A and B are shown apart, each in its own frame.
Chain A
Amino acid sequence: MSDIIQLKQLTKSYGSKMVLENIDLSVPHGTIVGLMGPNGCGKTSLMKILTGMINDYSGEVLIDGHPVGPYTKSVVSYQPDRSYLPAWMSAKQAINYIADFFKDFDKEKALKMLAAFQLEPGERVKSMSKGMQEKLLLLLTMCRRAKLYVLDEPLGGVDPSARQFIMDTILGNRPEGSTILLSTHMIYDMERVFDYALMIGRKQILLYDSVANLEAQGKTLNELFQEVFPYVG
């Protein structure tokens, strides 16, 4: 199986502060990878590099065999950890906008999901609650038939029932053969869905293995996380 993500000697720093140093990584097609690590360890930076939001780094980044650019952006569906839609845009306008640029966007499915999410097509982003905005962003991300989904903290700050709803939406709409890279702190809730666990911290990849291998060692992801990142009070 070929790799959807290939990183070679990836280094990223913010001024004098280095967050990723000489990272090498290969993520195979068709897997769900959990990206974990403490706050500020470089999870979001890594995701931004993969999606072309950060361009000042060194090393090689290949998505589906291509350097980050128009092609990779056409096969990557990215949900950042914040709302990016203009306040004046309505849900329908947002759907039309994404459909205009991404050939893999399923507009019909998006309109059905809009109704299922109880979102009004004409409602503007500025009048939506935070939860409604998150639903709309999730819809825009998951209605694409992308090769790689990069989801930055999609479960952050939501209640358990909303968390279940978001996970069902992600897993239920994921095309066969696609890869999901999902960052989260909700390790306990998520370990059942991950194929691979990727833990980064101290500028390095501290753990990258299949969840099956890790389970064979008799440890849960939660326990491993606490071993890799011991809490210093």
Chain B
Amino acid sequence: MLGKLLKNEFIHTGRMIVWLLGGGILAGGIGALVTLNQNIQAGQFLVAMLWNFLLILGAMLIEVLALVIILVGTNRSLFTERGYLTFALPVSTMEMLFTKFFTNVVLLGAAYIETGALMFVAFSNFRRLIRNASETIAAQAGDMGGMAEMGGLGNALGLASFQDIVTFAAYLLGVMLVFLILAMMVVLFVFTITHVRPFQAKPGLWMPIFFIAVAVVCQQIVTRVSDLADIPIKLNLMNGALGEEGISINLVMAIVMLALSAALFFLTNWLLKRKISLK
């Protein structure tokens, strides 16, 4: 049944954000094409700059919209009229909760990765555009002092090495995943507890209060436990080796965050199983 739940959840939730992700990929592709032209003219330069600026705004919008769509969808499918369909299915509350959690993490993760990729594309395009423009200015200005200096500006903005980018992206993905897992469990817990009596009457009022309270408690636990067992670990992301070199990762913090996520999962499951009353 878990497989069927996951399949239907990906189809139903995914259909709501697929256009969002697809639109982002299309916009990023156009942005890259507009910028690829080396001999860009002044008018095209402005269009390309504007497009990439819009791309950054769009990337941020994708992140926000995906979050809103996924969270509103989750709340509706569990605690409104649609909950009558969800709770009537012959599945355990644990399967139901895991499905929501897993689908949301995957789809939101995909949206965040796309946002990151679009930002990267846009900033790379900016850099390329400025460098191309400055080279053109430098060539046209010849040895006209100040103008040549201005042309040098673009050359100063060198591209990062491929290895650096991969290392940074892998680190960012790992950190993002752990944060996303805990954040999603906090959200699912808050959604659930605000639909339990006596908070059920005004869930919208209680949600921000519970969200802040749970987030503060989680942050305190993570910080204090991590401080108690502060074991700095250097991880070389290129070869996965632990040692003297690489990015410093607080594995204790990551483990505490995952343990908190697991605790919230079981607590939320208990609430769904024993305390939820659909209106």
Write the residues of chain A forming the contact surface with B, with a CB cutoff of 8 angstroms.
14-15, 48, 51-56, 69-71, 73-74, 78, 80, 82-86, 97, 100-102
Please measure, in the bound complex, the distance between the C-alpha atom of A68 and the C-alpha atom of B57, giving whole angstroms.
49
Supposing A55-B275, A55-B277, A100-B4 touch, asked if A86 and B82 sit within 8 A by C-beta, the answer is: yes
B8 at interface by CB-CB < 8 Å: yes
Mask: chain B, 178-197; 1 = CB below 8 Å from A; 0 = not:
00000000000000000011
Task: Tell me the smallest distance from the CB of B59 to a CB of chain A, in Å.
Answer: 27
| B197/A15 in contact, CB under 8 A | yes
| B277/A48 in contact, CB under 8 A | yes
Q: Select from chain A the residue with minimum beta-carbon distance to B76.
A: A86
Taking CB atoms, residues of chain B closer than 8 Å to A73 are 88-91
**Within B53-89, which residues are at the interface with A (CB < 8 Å)?**
77, 81-85, 87-89
| A53/B87 in contact, CB under 8 A | yes
Q: Select from chain B the residue with minimum beta-carbon distance to A82.
A: B81
Q: Give 12 A-B contacts (CB < 8 Å), ordered by A residue.
A: A51-B87, A51-B88, A52-B88, A53-B88, A54-B277, A55-B273, A55-B274, A70-B90, A70-B91, A83-B81, A84-B85, A86-B82
Main secondary structure of the interface of B (DSSP, over half): loop
Task: Tell me the smallest distance from the CB of A55 to a CB of chain B, in Å.
Answer: 5
Interface size on B, residues (CB 8 A): 27
Task: Tell me the smallest distance from the CB of B4 to a CB of chain A, in Å.
Answer: 5
| A100/B8 in contact, CB under 8 A | yes
| B278/A74 in contact, CB under 8 A | no
Supposing A82-B81, A84-B85 touch, asked if A69 and B4 sit within 8 A by C-beta, the answer is: no
Write the residues of chain B forming the contact surface with A, with a CB cutoff of 8 angstroms.
1, 4, 7-8, 12, 77, 81-85, 87-92, 196-198, 272-278
Task: Tell me the smallest distance from the CB of A154 to a CB of chain B, in Å.
Answer: 14
Please measure, in the bound complex, the distance between the C-alpha atom of A100 and the C-alpha atom of B82, giving whole angstroms.
17
Please measure, in the bound complex, the distance between the C-alpha atom of A54 and the C-alpha atom of B82, giving whole angstroms.
14
Please measure, in the bound complex, the distance between the C-alpha atom of A153 and the C-alpha atom of B275, giving whole angstroms.
25
Please measure, in the bound complex, the distance between the C-alpha atom of A55 and the C-alpha atom of B88, giving whole angstroms.
13
Please measure, in the bound complex, the distance between the C-alpha atom of A101 and the C-alpha atom of B85, giving whole angstroms.
11
- Most chain B CB within a 10 A radius of its CB, from A51, A52, A85: A52
Q: Select from chain A the residue with minimum beta-carbon distance to B271.
A: A55
Pick from A56, A69, A71, A78: contact of B277, CB under 8 Å? A56
Please measure, in the bound complex, the distance between the C-alpha atom of A106 and the C-alpha atom of B197, giving whole angstroms.
38
Known: A14-B197, A73-B89, A84-B83. 17 other contacts (CB 8 A): A15-B197, A15-B198, A51-B88, A52-B88, A53-B83, A53-B84, A54-B276, A55-B275, A55-B277, A69-B92, A74-B90, A80-B84, A84-B84, A84-B85, A101-B89, A101-B91, A102-B90
Taking CB atoms, residues of chain B closer than 8 Å to A52 are 87-88
Taking CB atoms, residues of chain B closer than 8 Å to A82 are 81, 84
Pick from A74, A83, A86, A101: contact of B12, CB under 8 Å? A86
Pick from B8, B85, B196: contact of A85, CB under 8 Å? B85
Taking CB atoms, residues of chain A closer than 8 Å to B87 are 51-53
Task: Tell me the smallest distance from the CB of B142 to a CB of chain A, in Å.
Answer: 63
| A48/B81 in contact, CB under 8 A | no
- Most chain A CB within a 10 A radius of its CB, from B7, B87, B273: B87
Taking CB atoms, residues of chain B closer than 8 Å to A86 are 12, 77, 82
Please measure, in the bound complex, the distance between the C-alpha atom of A9 and the C-alpha atom of B90, giving whole angstroms.
25
Taking CB atoms, residues of chain B closer than 8 Å to A102 are 90
Please measure, in the bound complex, the distance between the C-alpha atom of A70 and the C-alpha atom of B88, giving whole angstroms.
9
Q: Select from chain A the residue with minimum beta-carbon distance to B278.
A: A53
Task: Tell me the smallest distance from the CB of A77 to a CB of chain B, in Å.
Answer: 9
| B8/A97 in contact, CB under 8 A | yes
Taking CB atoms, residues of chain B closer than 8 Å to A51 are 87-88
Q: Select from chain A the residue with minimum beta-carbon distance to B275.
A: A56
Q: Select from chain A the residue with minimum beta-carbon distance to B80.
A: A84
